[in-house]
Structure 1
């Protein structure tokens, strides 16, 4: 297609169009903020460096983990994402453009491929394993960072839909809302999920697919001795617990953590490890869909300021632990914790105080809503400094070759 003039076309936290140049600039910023290359990490499999498989590589923590693997450790391997191409009415998805730019940066010095496919499907697993076997051999690390609204069971063909609801009783809480540029505090009430909704959410967001990936790798002989796999998770504050950790998503995360324990036992004969990773709060396409998380995050940012840790900072901390450059920071549930900065008692006390006082009239002094609104726009390539939004832009961008 020719150059196109595009507008955000957003409704609330959801943007219809992504800006290619803005998305590329976001990846460039992430790349520059990621620690520079280091000598071969401890445990590198061979002279070519370790092999990583990142499932969910186009956004949020998965993108940060991919960029760090490439930038800091020169890893080879494969990233998997499920992104929409451009149509006559809309641009390609933001993750499409981010992946294209990540591949350009990776291609300068490394060997990393990207596959656009539904990670839940058997066909995606087959294609990914064929690529790994042909190009890279056994895998050293697998990072699982998938957030999806639905999943088709590869055995039964049944489609399961996840829901964001409380369990047991209704949820009533404050929310952050925007009318144009004006932010205000609203109210939300959600009825509790049914048992069927809870079970469906666990099937989508729990550990079932993660285990299928590990089993598939093992069956093909693609798990290297010392293999380490992690799945991204979150705990968060008591303020958001009713809709998150104690809700349907929390049930799915508990299943993810239970799966980690089972995988740990399965991988023990190979000297392998499996853990969930409790990351800190972040503005992601997944988190903005969760009621009250937006208000909580903007209050947290106001409390912490520049001490609010980015996904790049957290990914760097995670890879230091995975490569053996730093010891694993495990809690009593054997989860890797990256959220100490968020869960600090003084920080949480300050956020609680602001949450109680938060109202439309007090929001400006208690929360960093300008930062939050800009971060949401950046998810789609908007509000990125140095990007020309007034001129037509080339929206037709090819998916990386070889993927």
Structure 2
């Protein structure tokens, strides 16, 4: 057993080390904030959750296990402990998720690159041998690059506007002091846009769905969803109208194509538009930190957590509640964020936000704490001065 006294390290919104007990406590909190289904005694449906260790995907995994005793497989790509660094936060979160679920539930975790053909083969072999067919495929992957399993080409995503340069306010921290800065990004070239679509669009989601169909693993009533986000018009130039937006559009186009292909098999496909959240992926997007801090200041306790959103999603996927579809046939979980009065209040604060006014307009302390929690830091009840057991085994091998 390795005991180490660790510190976060890193700079800005990136941390070098993760805290094992802190990461476990974050999962415990998620677990407590997802409800137990009325009938959870028997075995639950079978789900394949891709991107199960962080953000919306982690919340969806915890809610599935807690509320529905979901069986199946979660896939994440996480780093083990090295001599210099702790394991990644997702490694520790996955270990705790498995502990809470218990061995009798029948949900395993695979540490692999979900983009690879080898991961697909290994995952589907396990599902076929253990369960036969799959009820749900949840796709929630955020990655900086993807290797095409057919061509071997490596695609790198970029966060850039399209058409013209983007200059906007950003939230920055000088130590612990929040500042309103500005950032200007030049527009992406066509190749950069296309590469981002290859990484963050629907290409890999389609490959997973097709692989399940080719193996005869799609259960009657099968439902697959890809987790997404639309974003406010305040951040649209860098988000919905930028390279990320091009990828999101491709994801939505993929959903429509899959919907047509799955219909004869009794299946469905949708994208899910979740509400704002502080995730390891979102902190890398300019302006999102400031927007989310302003949004939380406006909403307070009405700001919906990923646990609340995941619970609402599973109620719809399991038929407990009707699908909340918009005119583009996307499942919407973000009504609380895009209430007209809420957005008007955020827009007013955005315009007025400067370093001098930030303290009264934005909830920056909440945001900074949420960033720390992504890595297991800033969690109440954790003694960060005490040595921690950093060597934690991956929960299961398949």
Class of the TM-score when normalised by the shorter of the 2 chains? over 0.9
Residue of 261, 268, 272 corresponding to 2:267: 272
Q: Does 1:19 align with 2:19?
A: yes
* Pairwise CA RMSD: 1.0
Residue of 284, 289, 293 corresponding to 2:284: 289
d(CA) in 1 for partners of 2:215 and 2:2? Answer: 44
d(CA) in 2 for partners of 1:23 and 1:55? Answer: 20
TM-score normalised by L of structure 1: 0.98
d(CA) in 1 for partners of 2:333 and 2:240? Answer: 17
d(CA) in 2 for partners of 1:116 and 1:140? Answer: 22
d(CA) in 2 for partners of 1:201 and 1:260? Answer: 18
d(CA) in 1 for partners of 2:83 and 2:381? Answer: 27
Q: Which residue of 2 aligns with 1:143?
A: 138
d(CA) in 2 for partners of 1:234 and 1:379? Answer: 19
Per the TM alignment, residue 109 of structure 1 is displaced from its structure 2 partner at its CA by: 4.4
Residue of 238, 258, 269 corresponding to 1:263: 258
**CA-to-aligned-CA distance 1:177-215 (integer Å, 9 cap, x gap):** 001110010010000000000000000000000000011
**CA-to-aligned-CA distance 1:58-83 (integer Å, 9 cap, x gap):** 00000000001000011100000000
d(CA) in 1 for partners of 2:359 and 2:36? Answer: 37
Structural mapping, 1:65-144, within 5 Å = 65-107=60-102, 109-144=104-139
d(CA) in 2 for partners of 1:49 and 1:401? Answer: 19
CA contact (8 A) 1:79 1:115 kept: yes
Q: Which residue of 1 aligns with 2:7?
A: 7
Q: Does 1:307 align with 2:268?
A: no
Per the TM alignment, residue 401 of structure 1 is displaced from its structure 2 partner at its CA by: 2.1
d(CA) in 2 for partners of 1:236 and 1:401? Answer: 36
Q: Which residue of 1 aligns with 2:148?
A: 153
CA contact (8 A) 1:211 1:259 kept: yes
More divergent stretch after superposition (162-171 vs 132-141):
132-141
Q: Does 1:335 align with 2:330?
A: yes
Q: Does 1:225 align with 2:216?
A: no
Unaligned runs of 5+ in 2: none
TM-score normalised by L of structure 2: 0.99
Q: Does 1:392 align with 2:387?
A: yes
Name the SS of the counterpart of 2:138 in structure 1.
strand
Q: Which residue of 2 aligns with 1:29?
A: 29
CA contact (8 A) 1:60 1:284 kept: yes
Name the SS of the counterpart of 1:202 in structure 2.
helix
Name the SS of the counterpart of 2:297 in structure 1.
helix
Name the SS of the counterpart of 2:389 in structure 1.
coil
Name the SS of the counterpart of 1:11 in structure 2.
coil
Per the TM alignment, residue 135 of structure 1 is displaced from its structure 2 partner at its CA by: 1.2
Q: Which residue of 2 aligns with 1:181?
A: 176
d(CA) in 1 for partners of 2:108 and 2:382? Answer: 27
CA contact (8 A) 1:283 1:376 kept: yes
Per the TM alignment, residue 40 of structure 1 is displaced from its structure 2 partner at its CA by: 5.7
Q: Does 1:171 align with 2:142?
A: no
**CA-to-aligned-CA distance 1:347-371 (integer Å, 9 cap, x gap):** 0000000000000000000000010
CA contact (8 A) 1:100 1:398 kept: yes
CA contact (8 A) 2:53 2:94 kept: yes
Per the TM alignment, residue 110 of structure 1 is displaced from its structure 2 partner at its CA by: 1.1
Residue of 374, 377, 395 corresponding to 1:382: 377
Q: Which residue of 2 aligns with 1:253?
A: 248
d(CA) in 1 for partners of 2:99 and 2:37? Answer: 17
CA contact (8 A) 1:19 1:382 kept: yes
d(CA) in 2 for partners of 1:51 and 1:137? Answer: 9
Name the SS of the counterpart of 1:352 in structure 2.
helix
d(CA) in 2 for partners of 1:391 and 1:114? Answer: 29
**CA-to-aligned-CA distance 1:224-281 (integer Å, 9 cap, x gap):** 1110000011111000000000000000000000000000000001111000000000
